Amino acid sequence: MLQEHCKLLAVLKQTGEVVGRKKLQKLIYIAKKLEFPFFEKYQFHIYGPYSEELNLRMEEMCHLTFVEEVKEKKAGYYQYRYTLSQKGSEFLNLSNYELPNTKELLNDINDQSSKFLELVSTVLYFEDLTRNEVEEKVFTLKAKQNYTKEDVSEAYRYIEKLRSALITQ
């Protein structure tokens, strides 16, 4: 029961902490695009792929005290830190749910900046398009982020690296 919730608890267990709602959103999206079994529905929003379902699921787990959410004031905005609580850990143990072998990969993604993950997830969102079309999408839809061609190349390299790591696992 509540298996989709358990998956998110397992992500927090494996990563230790996720800083920022945007990062969490992109982390799950990228994992989903890498064929990990996440089923939250995503749509394209201001900062790229975004799942209201994931947002609400996290809210539920905060209310259930399975997840600890710490709100921090930053320059001009608020940031949220997420960790697995004792109760969440207990629930995860009771459910017997185990994510596939994702720890290394999730931690690698979690170590990247939110801005870079926004670009990576945007490239993944448009991955059926040609490279030129993807660049056009990035530069028009994400004009305010000022990504460069080199940033886009870095995103492609990173996606390739993640996929290669999966194959060799």
Partner 1 sequence: MTRRFGTLEEEKVFKDPVHRYIHVRDELIWELIGTKEFQRLRRIRQLGTTFLTFHGAEHTRFNHSLGVYEIMRRMVENMEERENWDPEERLVCLSAALLHDIGHGPFSHSFEKVFHTDHEEWTREIILGDTEIKNVLLVMGEDFPKKVADVIAKTYENKLVVSLISSQIDADRMDYLLRDAFYTGVSYGQFDMERILRVMRPKEDQAVFKHSGMHAVEDYIMSRYQMYWQVYFHPVTRSAEVILSKILHRAKHLYSNKYKFKDKPKHFYSLFSGKITLEDYLKLDESVILYYFQEWQNEDDPILKDLCERFMSRRLFKYVECDPSIQMKVWPELIELFIKIGLDPNYYLVIDSSSDLPYDFYRPGEEEERLPIHLLMPNGDLRELSRESDVVEAISGKKRTDHKLYFAKDILEDQSTFPKEKQRILSLLIAQEG
- C-alpha–C-alpha distance, residues 165 and 169, integer Å: 6
Residue matched to tokens 């905060």: 62
Q: CA-CA distances (angstroms) from residue 104 to 70, 107, 110, 118, 165? A: 25, 5, 10, 20, 9
Q: Which stretch binds partner 1 (CB under 8 A): 78-86, 103-111, 148-156, 157-165?
A: 78-86
Compute the 3-state secondary structure of the chain and give helix, strand, coil in percent, each to the nearest 5: 60, 15, 25
Question: For 74, what's the count of Cα atoms within 13 Å in the CB-facing half-sphere?
Answer: 9
Using the rule CB under 8 A, give the single segment among 14-22, 98-106, 151-159, 161-169 that binds partner 1: 14-22
Judged by CB under 8 A, the residue of 89, 141, 154, 166 near partner 1 is 141
For partner 1, which stretch binds (CB under 8 A), given 11-19, 86-94, 100-108, 151-159?
86-94
- 50 forms part of the interface with partner 1 (CB under 8 A): yes
Which window, 11-19, 43-51, 98-106, 153-161, contacts partner 1 (CB under 8 A)?
43-51
Find the shortest distance in angstroms from Cβ 151 to partner 1: 19
If the CB atoms of residues 17 and 160 are measured against partner 1, the closer one turns out to be: 17
| 56 lines the binding site for partner 1 (CB under 8 A) | yes
> What strands lie across the sheet with 67-74, from one edge to the other?
18-19, 77-84, 67-74
Of 16, 17, 35, 45, which one interacts with partner 1 (CB under 8 A)? 45
Residues 6 or more apart in contact with residue 76 via CB below 8 angstroms: none
Q: Please, which residue, 127 or 160, has the CB nearer to partner 1?
A: 127
